């Protein structure tokens, strides 16, 4: 049969936001009503920094649409027993019945109160993928806003699977929920495990490719040779979890082995707290009247407040000043003529012993290499150079340091993030062209305007919305189960904060809440969407067990999977090529997504919904109607829950809040508001316009890639290098917790250091294994993971083509083992091996490679599915079942790190 020619062919513009590095703008070729192929939206080449191209995951969307394993009708569970070993017995039901069942449950909850006896929300919701489900869930956020308190803190693996410390400390220091080099002009990049070529999306890949050809030298420092390492000029196979030691040695070389003038002294004096005087208790010396931190003014030969005009502050030295030193809870520790050392002086002393020779045996990287890299970094920093951007002269410092997962989360994450940020600040490379940039904010407001989030706070620094630790305001009763407001001041209290707390506590504490917290309860109703914690969390067996005890789970389901295996109701929603939604694009977003355009893009139905799949917006509206929440639901949409406020100065496209509106009408209003927003009210093109054009943007100033101008304008400083505020907060938090008899967080409190010392971080994991009864010889290997571009965040393991093409990238078929190690253990390529911890074991095929440390094993991606059709047959191991969930391995931000000590043995030959 010859390929038949279609009678009609359309190209439908839409977007792919399957991963945090999106969105990618694409077109879908639709032949006779059937989607057959995805292509880049070539019209976007001019506005998209990745030349308008589309990531490999998007090409799986056609198969995703027509996957025969899709759930295409609402289903209800018939087996009341839940568990991995229980067949759910899902049976198809009508939408009416499904929504009635869900609404009845919700209405019963509303009737009895939204909080349970412990004060926790009875309704919980989990969305995966670093916030990407929001680009597919239509107006469901408006429904949740209308509902009231919802526990969004169960997560799907956050903390251990994300850049947790970077998210929190990054936002504190430079509005950097995510950090990126200024790749378009960077010349020298130290990448500690940052896997840009796998997780940086189209823009990251394209920009780095351009940069490599231009001459950017990237040194990749990580235990295995990742795809990013492959594309780097140099690979340094560092021992896992010792990155902080390398960074400390780098700082030592900058501070102690080079002339002081080689650093950016002007930047340090004017834009950091380096000159601030630190008293003997470790707090800033302050002006007794204004309580402002003091600096020593060389010109006046006296101490002056940090904002004294024309001051020439001393960077080094100890000085006497008429001052007060204020400790935790506003306590005045000392007053009078007090001796103070500059924060920079403190740093010098702190780093004096951290020589490359000290770091070398820790990191297993030669001292000469560390020294060379540090000196290259300094030489390439171009201290003193400037560049003009859009008429403004800015420092030009084309050097950057990036950190990857496992480096920037869990114990040691703080130290790495701090040392990285300090190192780039020493050469003036923070938030300036060529340097190290933050690219998105999630805890500060407004989220869509990073530079606009720069607001003056205390002591000359940017304001930061810490959860309070003072006696009066500290939250002794957590609002949700993971207790982020109680335990993690840095997590703030915005829409993203719940998911940035210690999400594993929501699970861990279900079977035993530690002293001082209200007993953690099971939510009465749990919404689950684009999230598969039973696969993606740590200690997945424990997660499965607890999930099986959730009383009522409503899962928006694409196919059956390991998490919705425990669900009571499955609701099939329109997938990527079937649904309708408008999202913001451009500006500055995750990691490398900083554009010189900003605007909106539409996801529109390229094909009719399959089966009885229903658009998410229509589901949300119907739930609002059936639970009597139409008014607050519509009000939330009017306020901006659909991506943009429908009413602003000069335009008003608000919905009538009393009525239920169809998806077309809702998104038409959103489109009109978006058009008006982008044109200052001049245009009001609606849904039809966006359907025809796909996207609309306007210019986004390149200057807004950098925070430096905003700080200069407001006379603010980066809160570096000395962490007086964190130190104080730690002290206060300790007091609050101890007042409640809570001592189980003491280890974490020790992280609140003004200048964090190196700790033997690898030993923490060795200790954890030893406590389980193993001797050191039993667990000789580090097991780590790496993102897979073909799968990361996509929830697409059940897509045949993704599996097929991913197999071309080493490691997708098993566990990567150093070839020399394998030879020593008698393991051949393809042999079946077992990887064990004291508690769990998993099996997979050995993939022998040279590009990995002999003491390290690597499992790419997150597999080991047992319910997801197609994926359950892979037979590929995952580390998620092996990583323990423990308080000991939780750092002060509430995160763990994605690594574990394991043994390795051969258990069988090749297939």
Partner 1 sequence: MTKWAMVVDLRRCVGCQTCTAACKQANATPPGVQWRRVLDMEVGEYPRVQRTFVPVGCMHCDDPPCMSVCPSTATRKREDGIVTIDYGLCIGCGYCAVACPYQARFKTDRASFAYGDRPSDAEDMSFDGDRLAVATKCTFCVDRVDAGISKGLKPGVDPDATPACVNSCIAGALHFGDIDDPASNVRHLVAGNAHFRMHEELGTGPRMYYLWG
Tokens (6 digits) for 496:
């993203």
**Which CB, 574 or 768, lies closer to partner 1?**
574
Shortest CA distance to 136 belongs to which of 704, 449, 629, 529? 529
| CA–CA separation, 674 and 681 (whole Å) | 9
Phi-psi category of residue 453: left, alpha or beta, with phi > 0 → left and psi -120 to 50 → alpha: alpha
Least distance CB 68 / partner 1 (angstroms)? 5
Position among 12, 13, 20, 35 found at the interface with partner 1 (CB under 8 A): 35
As beta bridge partners, residue 275 has none
28 alpha-carbon distance from chain centroid: 30
Position among 14, 18, 67, 180 found at the interface with partner 1 (CB under 8 A): 67
Stretch that binds partner 1, among 76-84, 223-231, 620-628, 884-892 (CB under 8 A): 223-231
Least distance CB 904 / partner 1 (angstroms)? 16
Query: Under the criterion CB under 8 A, does residue 210 sit at the interface with partner 1?
Result: yes
Least distance CB 514 / partner 1 (angstroms)? 44
With a CB cutoff of 8 Å and minimum separation 6, the contacts of 578 are 65, 605, 606, 607, 608, 609, 610, 613, 615
**Which CB, 55 or 528, lies closer to partner 1?**
55
Query: Under the criterion CB under 8 A, does residue 367 sit at the interface with partner 1?
Result: no
Residues 598-617 that bind partner 1 (CB under 8 A): none
Least distance CB 128 / partner 1 (angstroms)? 22
Tokens (6 digits) for 259:
């002339």
Whether cis (ω within 30° of 0) applies to the bond prior to 721 is: yes
With a CB cutoff of 8 Å and minimum separation 6, the contacts of 573 are 136, 137, 529, 556, 558, 579, 613, 614, 615, 616, 619
CA quadruple 818, 536, 586, 591: dihedral sign: negative
Query: Under the criterion CB under 8 A, does residue 215 sit at the interface with partner 1?
Result: no
**Which CB, 139 or 868, lies closer to partner 1?**
868
**Which CB, 658 or 850, lies closer to partner 1?**
850
Whose tokens are 């696969």? That residue is: 535
Stretch that binds partner 1, among 122-130, 167-175, 729-737, 846-854 (CB under 8 A): 846-854
Contacts 24+ apart (CB under 8 A), 73-80: 73/572, 73/611, 73/612, 74/98, 74/569, 74/570, 74/571, 74/572, 74/612, 75/557, 75/569, 75/570, 76/101, 76/568, 76/569, 76/570, 77/567, 77/568, 77/569
334 alpha-carbon distance from chain centroid: 41
Stretch that binds partner 1, among 31-39, 81-89, 249-257, 873-881 (CB under 8 A): 31-39
Query: Under the criterion CB under 8 A, does residue 298 sit at the interface with partner 1?
Result: no
Please check whether residue 491 is in contact with residue 893, taking contact to mean a CB–CB distance below 8 angstroms. Answer: yes
Position among 12, 20, 25, 38 found at the interface with partner 1 (CB under 8 A): 38
Position among 74, 229, 533, 794 found at the interface with partner 1 (CB under 8 A): 229
Please check whether residue 177 is in contact with residue 657, taking contact to mean a CB–CB distance below 8 angstroms. Answer: no
Least distance CB 198 / partner 1 (angstroms)? 8
Task: Using only the alpha carbons of the chain, give its radius of gyration.
Answer: 27
Q: For partner 1, what does the binding mask look like between residues 440 and 469, x meaning CB under 8 A?
A: ------------------------------
**Which CB, 270 or 367, lies closer to partner 1?**
367
Residues 468-497 that bind partner 1 (CB under 8 A): none
321 alpha-carbon distance from chain centroid: 43
Least distance CB 876 / partner 1 (angstroms)? 16
Q: For partner 1, what does the binding mask look like between residues 795 and 834, x meaning CB under 8 A?
A: -----xxx-xxx-xxx-------xxx--------------
Please calculate the CA angle 366-369-372 and round it to the nearest 5 degrees: 150
Stretch that binds partner 1, among 33-41, 125-133, 147-155, 688-696 (CB under 8 A): 33-41
Least distance CB 793 / partner 1 (angstroms)? 15
| CA–CA separation, 887 and 900 (whole Å) | 15
**Which CB, 96 or 804, lies closer to partner 1?**
804
Query: Under the criterion CB under 8 A, does residue 789 sit at the interface with partner 1?
Result: yes
Least distance CB 824 / partner 1 (angstroms)? 13
**Which CB, 108 or 368, lies closer to partner 1?**
368
Query: Total residues contacting partner 1 (rule CB under 8 A)?
Result: 66
**Which CB, 227 or 430, lies closer to partner 1?**
227
Residue 334, Cβ neighbours under 10 Å: how many?
A: 15
Position among 123, 205, 424, 637 found at the interface with partner 1 (CB under 8 A): 205
The continuous run of DSSP H or E covering 653 comes out as none
Query: Under the criterion CB under 8 A, does residue 39 sit at the interface with partner 1?
Result: yes
Position among 63, 86, 302, 375 found at the interface with partner 1 (CB under 8 A): 63
Query: Under the criterion CB under 8 A, does residue 49 sit at the interface with partner 1?
Result: no
Stretch that binds partner 1, among 47-55, 321-329, 397-405, 430-438 (CB under 8 A): 47-55
With a CB cutoff of 8 Å and minimum separation 6, the contacts of 150 are 121, 123, 124, 125, 144
With a CB cutoff of 8 Å and minimum separation 6, the contacts of 253 are 356, 370, 371, 374, 375, 378
Phi-psi category of residue 522: left, alpha or beta, with phi > 0 → left and psi -120 to 50 → alpha: beta
Give me the torsion for CA of 723, 727, 728, 732, rounded to 10°: 150
| CA–CA separation, 240 and 407 (whole Å) | 8
Least distance CB 796 / partner 1 (angstroms)? 11
Please check whether residue 276 is in contact with residue 395, taking contact to mean a CB–CB distance below 8 angstroms. Answer: no
**Which CB, 427 or 852, lies closer to partner 1?**
852
Query: Under the criterion CB under 8 A, does residue 212 sit at the interface with partner 1?
Result: yes
Residues 170-199 that bind partner 1 (CB under 8 A): 197
Least distance CB 205 / partner 1 (angstroms)? 5
Least distance CB 30 / partner 1 (angstroms)? 10
Position among 10, 34, 548, 660 found at the interface with partner 1 (CB under 8 A): 34
Query: Under the criterion CB under 8 A, does residue 65 sit at the interface with partner 1?
Result: yes
**Orientation of helix 243-256 relative to helix 343-351, angle to 10°:** 120
Residues 848-877 that bind partner 1 (CB under 8 A): 849-854, 870
Alpha helices by DSSP H, 175-221: 196-199, 201-214
Q: How many secondary structure helices (H) and strands (E) does the chain include?
A: 27, 34
Query: Under the criterion CB under 8 A, does residue 372 sit at the interface with partner 1?
Result: no
Query: Under the criterion CB under 8 A, does residue 790 sit at the interface with partner 1?
Result: yes
Query: Under the criterion CB under 8 A, does residue 53 sit at the interface with partner 1?
Result: yes
Position among 104, 108, 230, 541 found at the interface with partner 1 (CB under 8 A): 230
Least distance CB 197 / partner 1 (angstroms)? 4
The phi and psi torsions of 740 (rounded to 5 degrees) equal -90, 5
Least distance CB 908 / partner 1 (angstroms)? 25
Position among 19, 20, 55, 711 found at the interface with partner 1 (CB under 8 A): 55
Least distance CB 804 / partner 1 (angstroms)? 6
| CA–CA separation, 133 and 130 (whole Å) | 8
| CA–CA separation, 504 and 155 (whole Å) | 8
Position among 106, 172, 176, 225 found at the interface with partner 1 (CB under 8 A): 225
423 alpha-carbon distance from chain centroid: 22
Task: Summarize as ranges the residues that interact with partner 1 (CB under 8 A).
Answer: 1-4, 6, 31-32, 34-40, 42, 50-51, 53-56, 59-60, 62-63, 65-69, 197, 202, 205-206, 209-210, 212-213, 225, 227, 229-231, 235, 237, 789-790, 800-802, 804-806, 808-810, 818-820, 849-854, 870
């Amino acid at each position: 049969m010859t390929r038949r020619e279609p009678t009609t062919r359309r190209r439908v513009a839409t977007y792919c936001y399957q991963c945090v590095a999106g969105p990618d703008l694409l077109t879908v070729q639709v032949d006779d009503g059937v989607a057959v192929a995805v292509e880049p939206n070539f019209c976007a080449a001019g506005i998209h920094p990745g030349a308008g191209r589309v990531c490999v995951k998007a090409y799986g969307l056609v198969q995703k649409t027509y996957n025969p394993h899709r759930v295409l009708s609402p289903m209800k569970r018939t087996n009341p027993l839940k568990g991995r070993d229980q067949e759910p017995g899902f049976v198809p039901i009508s939408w009416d019945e499904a929504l009635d069942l869900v609404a009845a449950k919700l209405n019963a909850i509303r009737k009895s109160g939204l909080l349970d006896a412990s004060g926790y929300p009875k309704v919980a919701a989990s969305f995966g993928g670093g916030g990407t489900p929001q680009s597919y869930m239509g107006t469901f956020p408006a429904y949740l806003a209308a509902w009231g308190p919802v526990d969004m803190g169960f997560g799907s693996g956050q903390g251990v699977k994300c850049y947790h410390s970077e998210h929190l400390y990054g936002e504190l220091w430079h509005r950097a929920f995510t950090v990126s080099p200024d790749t378009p002009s960077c010349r020298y990049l130290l990448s500690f495990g940052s896997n840009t070529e796998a997780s940086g999306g189209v823009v990251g890949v394209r920009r780095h490719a351009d940069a490599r050809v231009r001459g950017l030298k990237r040194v990749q420092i990580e235990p295995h040779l990742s795809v990013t390492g492959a594309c780097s000029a140099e690979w340094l196979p560092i021992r896992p979890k010792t990155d902080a030691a390398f960074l400390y040695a780098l700082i030592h070389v900058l501070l102690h082995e080079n002339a002081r003038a080689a650093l950016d002294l002007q930047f340090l004096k004017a834009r950091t707290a380096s000159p601030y005087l630190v008293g003997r208790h470790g707090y800033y010396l302050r002006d007794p009247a204004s309580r402002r931190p003091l600096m020593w003014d060389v010109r006046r030969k006296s101490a002056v407040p940090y904002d004294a005009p024309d001051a020439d502050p001393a960077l080094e030295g100890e000085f006497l000043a008429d001052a007060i030193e204020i400790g935790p809870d506003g306590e005045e520790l000392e007053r009078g003529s007090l001796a103070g050392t500059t924060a920079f002086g403190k740093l010098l002393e702190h780093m004096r012993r951290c020589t490359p020779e000290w770091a070398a045996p820790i990191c297993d990287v030669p001292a000469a290499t560390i020294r060379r890299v540090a000196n290259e970094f300094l030489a390439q920093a171009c201290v003193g150079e400037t560049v003009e951007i859009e008429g403004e002269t800015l420092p030009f410092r084309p050097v950057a340091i990036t950190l990857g997962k496992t480096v920037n989360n869990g114990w040691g994450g703080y130290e790495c993030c701090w040392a990285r940020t300090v190192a780039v600040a020493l050469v003036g490379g923070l938030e300036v062209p060529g340097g190290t940039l933050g690219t998105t904010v999630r805890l500060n407001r407004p989220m869509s305007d990073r530079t606009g989030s720069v607001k003056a706070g205390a002591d000359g620094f940017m304001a930061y919305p810490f959860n309070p630790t003072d006696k009066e305001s500290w939250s002794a009763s957590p609002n949700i189960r993971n207790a982020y407001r109680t335990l993690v001041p840095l997590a703030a209290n915005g829409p993203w904060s719940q998911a940035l707390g210690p999400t594993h506590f929501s699970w861990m504490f279900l079977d035993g809440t530690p002293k001082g917290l209200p007993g953690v309860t099971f939510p009465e109703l749990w919404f689950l969407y684009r999230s598969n914690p039973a696969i993606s969390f740590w200690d997945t067996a424990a997660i499965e067990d607890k999930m099986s005890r959730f009383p009522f789970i409503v899962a928006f389901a694409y196919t059956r999977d390991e998490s919705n295996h425990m669900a009571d109701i499955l609701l099939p929603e329109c997938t990527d090529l079937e649904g309708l939604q408008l999202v913001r694009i451009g500006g500055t977003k995750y990691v490398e997504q900083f554009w010189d355009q900003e605007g909106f893009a539409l996801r529109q139905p390229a094909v009719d919904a399959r089966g009885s799949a229903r658009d998410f917006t229509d589901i949300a509206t119907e739930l609002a109607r059936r639970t009597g929440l139409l008014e607050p639901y519509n009000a939330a949409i009017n306020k901006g829950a659909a991506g943009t406020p429908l009413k602003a100065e000069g335009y008003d496209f608000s919905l009538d809040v009393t009525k239920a509106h169809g998806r077309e009408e809702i998104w038409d209003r959103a489109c009109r508001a978006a058009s008006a927003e982008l044109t200052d009210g001049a245009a009001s093109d609606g849904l039809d316009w966006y359907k025809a054009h796909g996207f609309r943007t306007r210019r986004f100033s390149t200057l807004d890639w950098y925070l430096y101008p905003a700080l200069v304008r407001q006379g603010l400083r980066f809160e570096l290098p000395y962490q007086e505020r964190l130190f104080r907060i730690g002290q206060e938090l300790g007091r609050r917790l101890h007042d409640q008899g809570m001592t189980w967080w003491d280890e974490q409190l020790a992280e609140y250091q003004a200048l964090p010392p190196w700790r033997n971080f690898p030993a923490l994991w060795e200790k954890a294994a030893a406590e389980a009864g193993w001797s050191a010889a039993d667990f000789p290997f580090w097991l780590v993971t790496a993102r897979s571009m073909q799968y990361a965040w996509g929830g697409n393991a059940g897509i045949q083509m993704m599996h097929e093409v991913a197999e071309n990238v080493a490691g997708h078929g098993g566990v990567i083992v150093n070839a020399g190690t394998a030879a020593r253990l008698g393991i051949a390529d393809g042999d079946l091996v077992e990887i064990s911890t004291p508690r769990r074991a998993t099996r997979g095929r050995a993939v022998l490679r040279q590009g990995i440390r002999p003491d390290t094993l690597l499992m790419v991606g997150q597999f080991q599915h047992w319910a997801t059709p197609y994926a359950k047959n892979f037979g590929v191991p995952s580390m998620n079942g092996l990583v323990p969930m423990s308080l000991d391995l939780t750092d002060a931000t509430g995160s763990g790190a994605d690594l574990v000590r394991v043994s390795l043995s051969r258990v069988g030959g090749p297939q």
